């Protein structure tokens, strides 16, 4: 089947899906399966130049074996594709980009890209999705914009005066960029672990700092508990906890070996950044030439600001994927769906609610 549109979006559609990463494609697939057709029925808009969602922007050295498990999209098996059998030697960004592009075409999802959504506003009888390629009038909007565009970098005194290099996760490209440098990696997630392992033997030295103690765990239920905590926060309209804070780091043989040889041993957070290094709580100074901020992301919701979704607690109240303050808006890949643990499962549930909101049943 064919299915990638060029040019701009249509002037109107029953449903607009913002984002064509895992969550957005999952919702789009289920909408089509439930009877909506691309075009007047639904349109998926994506800001990336290519298929693959945020994966297309990840660093070249990242492999699927080093990342969180990437679940297959619904219907992918009937194409004869599975990430479980993908070539582990290929860069993860190439594999995901290739598989997602083939998926979009096979199922005729007609993703429109690159399109940047600037705002979503209430027009009374519907919602208006404003983009850099024209406006789209919609009855329902599914926001699946993810987090990649909003890396979080915590404030530290002296950061602006640091004379070395500072990059966040989306800006990291290769360990070779840090050859011979003394590198501080900040953050307790899998990206930080991947950077440290890649920098070993390339950087002159590495040091790892985390806000909380890190643990390497082999607990199949940890992900389930983390999703439950995220769901509780979303329902209460509170800021979302990070998934990794509840799951811990994977106890793979590679990670455990790196820990045992002293590479993956974290220090508590420093207290200040100075022009040539970082100052620790005991007063000591560690000279560093570069800081890699692998400190997570925040949901990209700035384009939803006209809908006034924020609760007094600082978050967006979401129940079963639907925004409580605006029932014509659904958030896919948000809160309990913000990882591969919940994104695909949520696609079906959100699509069924969308169809009910349209009055078509499901």
* Rounded CA separation 141/46 (Å): 14
Where the chain has pLDDT below 70, the residues are 1-7, 67-68, 219-248, 335-344, 360-362
Task: Give the pLDDT score at 314.
Answer: 76
Task: Give the pLDDT score at 224.
Answer: 53
Question: Of 43, 32, 36, nearest to 10 (Cα)?
Answer: 43
Task: Give the pLDDT score at 362.
Answer: 52
Same fold, 4-149+297-358 and 159-293: yes
Does the domain at residues 159-293 carry the CATH identifier 3.50.50.60? yes
In the block, which residue shows the tokens 């939803």?
304
Task: Give the pLDDT score at 120.
Answer: 98
* Rounded CA separation 142/36 (Å): 14
* Rounded CA separation 156/273 (Å): 7
Domain boundaries of the chain, sorted by first residue: 4-149+297-358, 159-293
DSSP state letters, 220-286: TTHHHHHHHHHHHHHHHT-PPPPSHHHH-EE--HHHHHHHHTTSS-PEEPPSEEETTEEE-TTS-EE
Task: Give the pLDDT score at 249.
Answer: 85
Fold of 4-149+297-358: FAD/NAD(P)-binding domain (3.50.50)
Cβ neighbours for 54, distance < 8 A, ≥ 6 positions apart: 21, 48, 146, 147, 148
Task: Give the pLDDT score at 8.
Answer: 83
């Amino acid at each position: 089947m064919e299915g990638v549109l060029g040019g701009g979006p249509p002037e109107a559609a029953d449903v607009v899906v913002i984002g064509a990463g895992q969550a957005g494609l999952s919702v789009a697939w289920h909408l089509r399966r439930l009877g909506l057709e691309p075009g007047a029925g639904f349109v998926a808009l994506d800001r990336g130049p290519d298929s693959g969602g945020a994966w297309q922007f990840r660093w070249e050295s990242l492999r699927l074996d080093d990342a969180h498990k990437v679940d297959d999209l619904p219907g992918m098996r009937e194409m004869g594709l599975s990430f479980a059998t993908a070539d582990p030697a290929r860069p993860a960004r190439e594999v995901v980009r290739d598989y997602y592009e083939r998926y979009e075409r096979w199922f005729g999802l007609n993703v429109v890209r690159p399109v940047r959504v600037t705002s979503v506003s209430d027009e009374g009888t519907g919602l208006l999705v404003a983009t850099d390629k024209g406006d789209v009038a919609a009855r329902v909007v599914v926001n699946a914009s993810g987090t990649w565009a909003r890396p979080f970098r915590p404030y530290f005194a002296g950061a602006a005066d640091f004379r070395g290099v500072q990059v966040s996760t989306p800006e990291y490209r290769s360990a070779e960029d840090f050859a011979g440098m003394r590198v501080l990696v900040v953050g307790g997630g899998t990206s930080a672990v991947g950077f440290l392992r890649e920098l070993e033997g390339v950087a002159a030295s590495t040091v790892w700092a985390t806000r909380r103690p890190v643990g390497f765990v082999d607990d199949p239920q940890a992900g389930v508990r983390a999703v439950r905590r995220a769901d509780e926060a979303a329902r209460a309209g509170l800021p979302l906890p990070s998934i990794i804070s509840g799951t811990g780091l994977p106890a793979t043989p590679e990670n455990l070996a790196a820990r045992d040889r002293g590479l993956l041993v974290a220090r508590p957070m420093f207290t200040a950044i100075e022009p040539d290094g970082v100052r620790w709580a005991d007063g000591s100074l560690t000279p560093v030439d570069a800081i890699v901020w692998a400190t997570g992301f925040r949901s990209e919701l700035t384009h939803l600001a006209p809908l006034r979704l924020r609760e007094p607690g600082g978050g967006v109240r979401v129940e079963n994927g639907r925004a409580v303050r605006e029932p014509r808006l659904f958030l896919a890949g948000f809160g309990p769906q913000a990882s591969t643990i919940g994104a695909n499962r949520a696609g079906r549930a959100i699509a069924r609610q969308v169809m009910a909101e349209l009055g078509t049943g499901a």
